[in-house]
Structures are given as structure tokens and as C-alpha cells.
Chain A
Amino acid sequence: MERETISVTVNGRAYERAVEPRRLLSDFLREDLRLTGTHVGCEHGVCGSCTVMMDGVTARSCLTFAVMADGAEIETIEGLGSVEAMHPVQQAFWEKHGLQCGFCTPGMLMTAVELLKANPDPSVDDIRDAISGNLCRCTGYQTIVESIQYAAKLMREDGP
């Protein structure tokens, strides 16, 4: 199949890659760039595990073609922070037990980052609304909501 060359910035690093037009962004990230932190749970945009940031807004990478990311800035869970220097949202999910099996976690975190950017002091209802497109089978969502509340607090205390 004909390949197209795309230029895409992922977690601050520029990549130029030839991809088939039907290559999914999720496969591109996981297989071509070996960024396996982005998980694929349903391949049709329902579970939210594959959520990444594309030009500052969340996108379902399993419903996005890699060619659509040409020229875009992508951020994945790997770009959010490291074990040594965690993003407050990561820190909060760790401290507040916002995960169990961890498979939905990267998508939850990216969704939380988007929410907290737009709304630094969200109510519980705001949080539940924001993550309602991200399925979790382990936690019942309660500690996830608490983690996001705590992350908001950490980020407010930290300042912009």
C-alpha cells in the first residue's frame, strides 16, 4: 500500500515516518514508536484507554489515523512525567490508589489532565462527567475521582 510521510511531535520529540493511510494513531504510537503506555481496550472509541493529547485536546488514538496527526503535537502518558519526576496527576493516582490493574489508567490520566487544564477546581460532578467516557472495571471510579480532586489541589498549590 502507498505510504505517506508524516511529521509529528510526540512528547516533545519530532518524528518523521512513512505510514500507510489506514494506520491507526494507536498502532503508530505503540508499534512504530514503541510507546506502549497508550493502551488499546476496544478499538472503537468507547473505553477511552487509548486517550492521548493531540494539539492540547484529548483524542481517541484508536479512532484517529496516524496521517491525521501530521503536523500535530501529541502527548502520551510517557510524556506526562517519569517515576522520578511525576506530573501531579500521576502522583495523585499513585498516592490515592486511583488504579488497580492499571490498564485504563493512561487514558484516565490524559483525560484528567485535560479537565484540570480547563477547570483547576472541578467539583465531583465535573470530574465524573469528564471521565464518563473512560471505562474502568476495577475501581468503581471512586478513588479515580478522589485522585483527580487531589491532583487539582496539588496543582493549585504548586501554582501555574
Chain B
Amino acid sequence: MTHTDMDPGTLANVQFRQVGKPLTRTDAPGKVTGRTPYAGDYVMPNMLHMRVLRADIASARLVRLDVSKARALTGVACVLTADDLADRTAATDIPGQTGQKRLDTDQPILVRDRVRYFGEPLALIAAETRDIADHAAELIEFELEPIPGVYDTLEALKPGAPLVYGRDNIVAERKIRKGDVEAGFARADLIVENTYRTPFQEHAFLEPEVGLAWVDENDVVNIRVSTQVIEHFRPIADALGVPHNKVRVRGALVGGGFGGKEDLTVEVYLALLAKQTGRPVRLEYSREDSFVGHGKRHPFILTYRTGVTKEGKITALDVNMIADAGAYVFLSPYVILYALVAAPGPYRVDNLNVFAKAVATNNMYTSAFRGFGALQACAAYEQQMDEIANTLSIDRLKLRRRNFLKTGEPMSTGFVPPSAIWTEQCAEKAWAGLGEPTASDGPIRTGRGLACYQQSYGRLTFLHDTSEAWVGVEMDGTVVVRSGVTDIGAGQISALGQIAVEVLGVTLDNVVIYNSDSAVTPLAGTTTATRALYMTGNAAKQAAEGLRARLAERAAQEFGVTPDEIDMAFNEVFVIDRPEKTMPLVDLVRTCAAEGIHRSELAIFRAPFGDFLDPETGQGQAHPDYAYGAHAVEVSVDVETGEVEVLKSVAAHDVGQCINPAAVEGQIQGGAQNGQGYALSEEMLYEEGRLVTPSFSEYLMPTAMDMPNVECIILESRSGVGPFGAKGIGEPAMTAVAPAIANAVADAIGVRVFEMPITPERVVTALQQRDAS
């Protein structure tokens, strides 16, 4: 069930024809009939098959690597090791994104002498068939001499700990110093301190990493790949040592991303072997390759020390965060920045100290994952709110109400978000949405939890983010949109179509969207950071509006009116309130063509450009804007087995303006699955850095039997900085789910499990410890 709440004040005079409707997606027919080609479905004549050979120890020195037998095998076209490569790295780096300690810590393309994590690539093989490539991998002889590694962030910070690289294991540090924390604690009636732990998480997109590369007639390396970021053509070119215009990346409809296809995956390996062999090469990861071959969500240890008055007003907050960056630096400096900014959550905290640290270990490297650090912060601050409420015996919603950040107030960095802050409305609706409580029954105890969040949408402002889109109208009145944006399944391109046709007054079946080709479509940036709708949606809207203005001007001339009296809808152009003055869009377009009036428009949208936060105080503008909302759940816990079941799940989000309600609900329901798995069942177990859960039979994400229906309550403040006042929903949908579940479990059993996932074992242990004390 879904209902939409709007603020009547902001809705005056706004009537959409296409936006805000649950239109069916433009990509769905191909997907339901099996006709959609995914990146893995492309083949070429004379194509070679690739395989990556990986290290099977997490911390070691590469003593010997002998590929001579593999090279001699019939059907093997090429085997590459680090000795065959120039000393280059393949960093996920784009202008402005340069991080701390970058030069020391970029992962080499292949291991030269030192293995730092389990699964680090040793050699690349290309052969006539996959079987031959697999056989060649078995013929490669290598010797790894173990080096003491470090697999725990707290151990890694101790003096004398094994070094992953450099002089210490600290990858990045960030802080916020705001107000007077000591004075705030002195004013507090109560100080609550707790430490929360969050785990690794695997993205578990259903489509493993895959791509196909070839060198074309212009000596350009072409890569067709499943990716969130086609603009990796730059680091790929740098890794090859060729100019940027000699690499072209084309996406395909992506079989799931969630941040896991944000960094480079198979691209550099493909490009190297396509160049080396002069033949098309294809590389598809196995599921196990995927588990060990891309970065995970950062595990965090978060210590929250909160001062509150007895009425429940927060007077001071001191937060310490330690994130496991794993063995190489990808996006860790930015993940902890997001966590830092998000540390107090959607609450007004004037006396605030936050210290966030990313620490190198010999675990799998960690990088982007839906929520990007802000989600880990939410896992802690929302559990902490319940702990405070319980200690003070104040109603949990009431405590939150006393502290919510309000519209127009400064957040953690001193920045005042430009949009409405509707956390309170969302929290009330989500909490009320749970309805009548389900009674406990013997060992089955029920409980409820609420969690509220603040999550950015749009990239960090110091990255100076831009996005381009092109919109044109054909001679028959059909519309073409061109944008480099990748569609990772959330309906990104469908939304662009919906925006363009809203402005141009045509129907969605009259639009075709060309996307994700770095050489041909205007560069639109990444599909990450909940930015695709915000950035590319605004760019498409601007382009469509530019085109519309030109068409309206010519139509006004035709009808003898002013352009602002012209409207366009349902493929017709007409004078407002004068139904007799109308003409088919196609006739207007033909007139424009005959007179040489430009029938397309290229637009660029620029996010607000900012500087880096003040390094001492953490004050400044980190992001363009923020989304707010809440998630509420009811769970049952079997106190004998420790098993948790989610009975009810209600989400309330202010999305600013729905472009497509069905797509918004899809994000919310999918986010609930990701968050529920994170809270309860998804566990990446490592032994000395070696992943022992590299398959879906060990790594357990929620199935259809585990997931409840999610009631989606969509609020529209129309205040966002996206098109038509939209905010983002991709990441926000997941952020508050896990702490809501954790709070419900604690409510059910009267004791908190401070570490996720809240497995049956941890529940039973927590109950036993409580009974023992």
C-alpha cells in the first residue's frame, strides 16, 4: 500500500502530465522477454577468453612466478605478469578526487612483489577457450612467502603492528570540532556511551563483473562493460599509457551495481590484453571471483558519547569512528568523510566532536556501497538514540522530536541544507504505520524499532560535479535523449525520458534514450552518490527546456501570440485556453526544419562548487543537499533459537518530488532487502584475510521468504535541488533499515546486540550474558 502526502502550499499551479506517474519503464519490455543484451551477452569473431589468477594468501611476498608452462600451452594467446607491465597503477581517480597518501597506496595492476590481500591478481591469461584459460592458470607456478599480516583495525593501530604499507596503517583522518563539547557535557544530566560495530557487506549484484574489449580501426581501445562509471576511460588510458581519447567505454544495462561497480573492475585487464593480442577479449568473473575481486562495505567501530538533559535534549556529542579500509585505498578517505558529516544524524547538535579514521589492514579492500559511510553512522546514532531513550525512560519518538534538525538550521558542518527537512513528519508516519502491535507469544517476543536518517544526494561539492545531456526532436515528432548516464537498474534512463517528455509534451513511447557511451553520449558523470536523477535529470530538463523555448517561439509566431502563451502536451502544440489554436508537434518541427531552426539542445548542469571542509573544524558545505526520512519495523525474536523475523516494515521518505512513484517504491523495497540482510544475515567471514564465505550458499541475503512487504509512504516537499524539486532516494532507501531492525530486536528482548549482523548466535549470547549478570 502506498499513499502520497503533499504540502498543499507548495503544490499550487503545478500540474504534471508525465512526471509523478507510475509509468512503465522504457527498459522493461526487453528485460522481460530476454532480448536485452547485458555486457556479458556480447561476443565478437576471433574473440579470446580471459582468466585472472589470484593470490591465495592475504599477506605474502611473491618469491617466484613462473608462467612459462602456461605460455607454452596450445591455445594460450597471452599471459601477462607485472614484469610485462610498465610501473603503472589503475586508480579510481577522476579530477578533484585525489586522496590522501594516494601515491603510496594505489594498487598495482598485478602483484609485483608484495601480496596485501587474499585474491590480489598475479597474472592475466587470454586463450582460445575458457577451458584452456583455466588450464593455463593451473600451469602457472607461484610461490608466496607469508608475511605477518594484520586483520583487525584496532590491532593495526597498535605500535609495532605489521605495516600494510607506509609508516603507519592510517589511511586518512578527518574531524569535526564544533561548539564547546566539554561545556556541553558539563551541562548534561546524563552521559551515555556505547560502541557499535558494523560488518563487511557484499553488494551481491546478480550479474558478476563482465566485459568485452577490442581495438578498433582508429587504434582506440573499446570496452563494453558492466559498470556504473563509463568515465573510467581516463584511468584506463593512464594505466595503458595512451591518450585519453584512445579509450572508449560503453556500458550496457547493468545487472545491479549498489556501488560495487563504481570502481574499475575488469576494464584494465581487458584493455591490456586487447592491446597486447590485437584480438577481442572477454572476461567474466565467476561468482567467487566477484566475491574476492571487488571492494566491500567498510566495517566500522563507532563509539558514541552523548550528553543529554533529563528532558532528553542533546547537549554534547563526541564520536570516534574507525573504518577498515582493507589493503588498498580506493574511496576510503571519502567514505569516512561521509560518515563524519553524518555523525550526529538528523539531529541538532551544537557541541560536536567527531573523529573518523580509515585504517589499512590485510583484509579485502573496501570502497563504495549504497550509503557510503553515512549508513554506518546511522547504524550507530539511531541505536544510540534508543539507548538514551531507554536510560531516560522517555518515549523513543519523543526523544527524537526534541532533537530533530529543522528546516533552515545548520547541520554538523555548519551548512544549512537548502531544502525542507521533514524528518519529523516521516518519523511520525512510519511509526504510526506499524499499526496495532503484535503480541508476544511464549518464547516468541515481539518488538518495534524506529530509525531516522540524513543522507546526502549528489557528490561532494569540492569535486565540482557536472552533468551533460542532449535532447532533440526528430522530423516525425519523436524525441531523442543522449546522456552518458549508466542505468544500473533503478530506472535512471526511464526517468530521463519522463522528464524530457514532460517538458516537450510528448508521450513516453515517443522517446528513445541513448546512454553510457563515453565517445558519443554527452558525459553525464557517474551513477553513484544518488546523483543520477539530481544531476542528469536537471541536465535533461535544461536541455528539453532550451529546445522547448525555441519551438514555442516559432509556434507563437504561427499563432500570433507570445511564447509564454504556448503549451505542449500529448504531441500537440497549442495556445493555452484557446483550444482552436492547435497544431501537431510534428508540423511545428517540420516548419522549424524547413527554416533551419535548431531542433536540439545540449545542456550542462553544475552542482554547487565548494571547497574542501576546513581540515581543523570540519565546517563548510560537503554536499549539495540532503534527504531525510525514517524506517520503522516490527520484529519477532525467538529467545530460544535467537532467530529474528521482520513482521512489519514501514518506510517514510521525503523524496522532494516523485518522478516515477513506482521507481521510488522499488528503491525503498530493495533498500529494505539490502538493509535487512545487513542487519541480520549477511556475513563475510575472513580467516587471516581469507574469505571463507565466497558464495551465495554461505553469504545469506534475504529471500522472498524472509522479506515482509514494505509499506512505502512517500512525502513530497518539492524542495529538493533535483528536477521539479526532487531529492534522491537510491541510497536513502537503505540507510535507516538496519538500525530500525536492531532497535526492534533490542525492544523485543530487552538487551542490545551491539554488533551487526544480529545473528541467532549473537542474540542467544546477549541473552545469556544478561541472565548471567
Contact = CB atoms under 8 A, between A and B. Distances in A.
Interface in A75-115: 76-78, 80-83, 86, 90-91, 93-95, 97-106, 109
A136 B33 contact: no
Given A94-B24, A103-B255, A142 B29 contact: no
B707 A142 contact: yes
Contacts of A143: 662, 665-666, 669
Interface in B118-145: none
Contacts of A133: 703
B25 interface: yes
B488 interface: yes
A139 B666 CA distance: 6
A41 B206 contact: yes
Nearest to A90: B32
B24 A97 contact: yes
Interface residues of B, number: 56
Interface in B178-228: 203-208
Given A97-B662, A142-B709, A137 B34 contact: no
A38 B207 CA distance: 12
A102 B704 CA distance: 16
Interface stretch (B35-43, B82-90, B389-397, B542-550): B35-43
Interface stretch (A43-51, A53-61, A65-73): A43-51
Interface string A12-44: 000000000000000000110001111101111
Given A47-B696, A76-B34, A83 B287 contact: no
A8 interface: no
SS class of chain B's interface: helix, strand, loop or mixed? loop
B34 A141 contact: no
A61 B205 CA distance: 19
Contacts of A109: 32
Contacts of B205: 101, 103, 137
Given A46-B697, A100-B490, A143-B666, A39 B674 contact: no
Contacts of B680: none
Contacts of B36: 102
Contact of A137 (B27, B701, B710): B701
A42 B287 contact: yes
A152 interface: no
> Among the interface residues B34, B671, B674, which one has the most CB atoms of the partner chain A within 10 A?
B34
B30 interface: yes
B253 interface: yes
Contacts of B704: 127-129, 131-132, 134, 136, 141, 144-145
Contact of A102 (B255, B258, B670, B701): B255
26 contacts: A36-B41, A39-B206, A46-B695, A46-B697, A47-B696, A77-B34, A86-B32, A86-B33, A91-B32, A94-B24, A98-B32, A101-B253, A101-B256, A101-B488, A103-B207, A103-B256, A104-B206, A105-B32, A109-B32, A127-B704, A135-B206, A139-B673, A140-B671, A140-B710, A143-B665, A143-B669
Interface of A: 30-31, 35-39, 41-44, 46-47, 49, 76-78, 80-83, 86, 90-91, 93-95, 97-106, 109, 127-129, 131-145
